[in-house]
């Protein structure tokens, strides 16, 4: 069954053309062209700039269940001050309750991590298996690091290893960090990642649902 998205409904969207990693960006439906089944949405998150027609995956809440459905990007009429894009849906909606394979963007949230002796690194996304952050250059692929993940007054400690490195600017790099085998399941860091993945998803959907 295809999704029945409503105007002012909060969704998450993954742009397949931006990254092969499934990062979910919060957005809000602002218009529906019923005749052509085209949805228009806004995304306030900075730095999201999809180009050209590409596949998308739309995530949404339906009756308390987290669902997903494929789609196709149709147009990007505006990128500033916020991203405006239109898309169509394809196929049928299915459950997205298995959260292992997607990431929740944390750009609009105050989430940081201490990496070894480097404090306050900006966390840009989380999943139940790892996180992405901006930190000083110098860490290499496969390097195991001590982590302290921070959000509001909560701190989760553990270890992760560097799985991806991309140079940013001003001596910074964008790192992908995965939890070690020893940190999975009920270890403190894994518990924190699961909590953030689900809690930020709920917060973003609530904020979008009640925004003017």
10-97 and 106-197 agree in CATH topology: no
Domain boundaries, the chain: 10-97, 106-197
Residue 99: pLDDT band with limits 50, 70, 90: very low
Q: pLDDT, tens digit, for every residue of 106-145?
A: 988 899 999 999 999 999 999 888 999 999 999 998 888 9
pLDDT of residue 35: 92
Q: Which residues pair with 132 in a beta bridge?
A: 125, 176
Residue 185: pLDDT band with limits 50, 70, 90: low
CA terminus-to-terminus distance, the chain = 29
Reported as half-sphere exposure (CB side, CA atoms, 13 A), residue 105 has a value of 23
pLDDT of residue 3: 63
Domain 10-97 classified CATH 2.30.110?
yes
Question: Cβ distance 49 to 83 under 8 Å?
Answer: yes
Reported as half-sphere exposure (CB side, CA atoms, 13 A), residue 81 has a value of 0
For the chain, what percent of residues have pLDDT higher than 70? 87
Residue 38: pLDDT band with limits 50, 70, 90: very high
pLDDT of residue 24: 83
**Alpha helices per DSSP H over the chain:** 188-210
The Cα 132–Cα 193 span in angstroms is: 12
pLDDT of residue 103: 82
**Is the bond leading into 178 cis (omega within 30 degrees of zero)?**
no
pLDDT of residue 126: 93
The Cα 59–Cα 41 span in angstroms is: 13
The Cα 14–Cα 65 span in angstroms is: 18
For the chain, what percent of residues have pLDDT higher than 90? 41
The CATH number for 106-197, chosen from 3.30.420.300, 1.10.3470.10, 2.40.10.220, 3.40.1080.10, is 2.40.10.220
Q: pLDDT, tens digit, for every residue of 199-210?
A: 887 777 766 655
- Residue 3 has what DSSP assignment? -
pLDDT of residue 51: 79
Q: pLDDT, tens digit, for every residue of 50-79?
A: 977 889 989 888 776 778 899 999 999 998
């Amino acid at each position: 069954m295809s999704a029945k998205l409503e105007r002012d409904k909060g969704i998450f969207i993954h742009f397949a053309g931006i990254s092969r990693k499934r990062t979910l960006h919060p957005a809000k439906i602002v218009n529906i062209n019923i005749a052509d089944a085209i949805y228009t949405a806004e995304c306030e998150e900075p730095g999201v700039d999809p180009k050209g027609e590409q596949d998308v995956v739309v995530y949404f809440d339906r009756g308390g269940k987290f669902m997903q459905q494929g789609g196709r990007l149709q147009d990007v009429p505006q990128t500033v001050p916020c991203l405006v894009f239109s898309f169509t849906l394809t196929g049928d909606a299915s459950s997205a309750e298995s959260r292992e394979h997607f990431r929740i963007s944390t750009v609009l949230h105050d989430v940081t991590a201490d990496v070894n002796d480097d404090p306050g690194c900006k966390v840009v996304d989380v999943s139940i298996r790892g996180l992405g952050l901006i930190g000083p250059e110098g860490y290499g692929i496969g390097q195991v690091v001590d982590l302290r993940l921070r959000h509001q007054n909560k701190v989760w400690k553990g270890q992760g290893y560097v799985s991806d490195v991309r140079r940013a600017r001003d001596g910074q790099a964008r790192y992908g960090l995965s939890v070690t085998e020893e940190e999975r399941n009920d270890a403190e860091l894994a518990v924190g990642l699961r909590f953030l993945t689900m809690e930020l998803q709920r917060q973003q959907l609530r904020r979008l649902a009640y925004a003017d």
